[in-house]
Chain A
């Protein structure tokens, strides 16, 4: 089911509030696409990279894109200006200056990911899974190209930004938004989803309600534990209902659940990835 609807995508963003399971789901998704014969690259952009550790042993390529590396790759690999880079852009003082220019880091990051899909970069990937920043930063990231274009400044760099923007709009990219059955997380989702629909032209692939707890017969448990378990189940079901009622009408068919896993081992292996994805269900069944 995953690969059916994802088969034509070249870039998939995985986002959601912090702590909802973005990295685990990105890895599981990459494994699933790899199982179906795709050449997959897992990407993150963080000072605290997690993907190599999470996906250790799976044999899937991972890449952490820090902004300064994106500059280097753009100028040296894409523009072929190695000497210019050495003379100017590799200097600390220039790096520091560029770091302070708003929006530049964001377009460089998107541009670098776009470049990894270009055969000229020497890469052979069919699809990139981007374990993206959490909701607010993600929204800024994806709205930056348009905001830059709207400033009306032109030139070669903005030409690149335009290409990235066109790519994002082309349907070659899509996004997966993750939620967990907790009220605070769900209320943020209900607030966020209409915003991203309005501001970003990248289609929504799935909204995944992750870690949905399967039912349990609590009647044989001792009193404190029983009360606690009943309450957790009630809370997650209420949160799920709140999500279902609060999601914009047009996105309701995109809503799926993934079960809370019995034991979550770390790093993930192919069996865990497949097991997690095997619990994928349409949320309308709840």
Chain B
């Protein structure tokens, strides 16, 4: 099996609180030490990690300063919903008048600043841009936690399905017709969808919404193309998926259900990172102490059990490799400690 470092895109997936972003950053550092040009995209990193990496919260991915001994580079970025949304409206719409009209629309403003749904689409847009832009050898993507990762991975299907399921025809055409003929006409024609929507939202609301959808038609089509392209990237052999887990506290149930779902969705044979494994010497000395002595020792004992449990479970569902990351006993939250951690891990797992 080829090394993860030879992939073109690596997608990190895991439940919350298992060290997903940290793993994505550590992997990026290792790749950069190997001389790769890395693009790192995170959806919602903790402020602390972002500032440790000098990741600006706005704009396009920025170059990290790692000193002269690192041969490669890392451009790291955080998904900025409004920025990307604006960019895409400008890219997909054909006339300036339409762009201005969309950007000023109250529904657009709400969607691009306050609401959570579009974040997944915009992250995909930036990810696709980074993969296809040719600027990077490898693009590393840190996805949102838990089932939100699944939402994220299935979004391209939704976008690509716009055409297959004739959504444009179903949705936009009635709206366009309504714009031309007036809603009253449409309802009298027995247009079920419009009539149905009007009962739920009210006629004037529907009218406003209809106008907006008509203006958005080119943007919707643009996102459809983007979805189709992202599906191809996801399906490409040079794209790899890494399930991130941790033995710290009981996340085993979440990891197992997420991993099973991932494979069910067709993302087969992912790799597995197990974070926060106890060092061997600590494990050995702990082995002699009876269970029930103290909660802190029992929790440590359970970490050893969870590592065994995860390893066994994973071998049964995937032929991907298992990367074991040992707890180094300190916070890994600065570029220095992250690099130290990355290099220690690469020695442990000489095959990353």
Contact = CB atoms under 8 A, between A and B. Distances in A.
Interface in B293-310: 294-300, 302
Interface stretch (A3-11, A115-123, A146-154): A146-154
B17 A155 contact: no
Given A19-B16, A79-B200, A228-B329, A48 B146 contact: yes
A19 B17 contact: yes
B296 A97 contact: no
B115 A75 contact: no
Contact of B192 (A20, A87, A155): A87
Contacts of B294: 214, 216, 262
| Interface bracket on A | 35 or more
A144 B200 contact: no
A33 B128 CA distance: 48
Q: Interface on chain B toward A: helix, strand, loop, or mixed SS?
A: helix
B268 to A, nearest CB: 18
A137 B43 CA distance: 12
Given A225-B286, A231-B329, A156 B145 contact: no
A96 B296 CA distance: 48
B221 interface: no
B151 interface: yes
Given A18-B15, A187-B47, A48 B331 contact: no
Q: Interface on chain A toward B: helix, strand, loop, or mixed SS?
A: helix
Contacts of B206: 155
Interface stretch (A101-109, A164-172, A200-208, A246-254): A101-109
B333 A184 contact: yes
Interface in B113-164: 113-118, 144-148, 150-151, 158, 161-162
Contact of A48 (B49, B254, B299): B254
A77 interface: no
Interface string B197-212: 1011111111011000
B166 interface: yes
By CB atoms of chain B within 10 A, which of A88, A136, A150, A153 has the most? A153
Nearest to B209: A153
Contacts of A93: 165-167, 170
A81 B199 contact: yes
Contact of B254 (A50, A157, A191): A50
Interface string B90-127: 00000000000000001101110111111000000000
A180 B18 CA distance: 13
Interface stretch (B69-77, B231-239, B243-251): B243-251
B110 A185 contact: no
A61 interface: no
A229 B297 contact: yes
B310 to A, nearest CB: 15
B200 A156 contact: yes
B277 interface: no
Given A137-B148, A262-B292, A100 B158 contact: yes
B201 A155 contact: yes
A19 B249 contact: yes
Given A18-B145, A231-B329, A184 B48 contact: yes
B196 interface: yes
A151 B46 contact: no
A183 B209 contact: no
Contacts of B170: 93-94, 97
17 contacts: A48-B147, A93-B166, A94-B170, A96-B162, A97-B167, A100-B158, A102-B117, A104-B117, A106-B117, A137-B148, A152-B106, A154-B204, A184-B49, A229-B296, A235-B331, A263-B292, A266-B253
Closest 7 CB pairs of A and B: A18-B16, A19-B17, A155-B202, A140-B116, A147-B114, A155-B205, A88-B196
Interface of B: 15-18, 44, 46-49, 106-107, 109-111, 113-118, 144-148, 150-151, 158, 161-162, 165-167, 170-171, 192-193, 196-197, 199-206, 208-209, 246, 248-251, 253-254, 257-258, 261, 278-279, 281-282, 284-286, 288-289, 291-292, 294-300, 302, 329, 331, 333
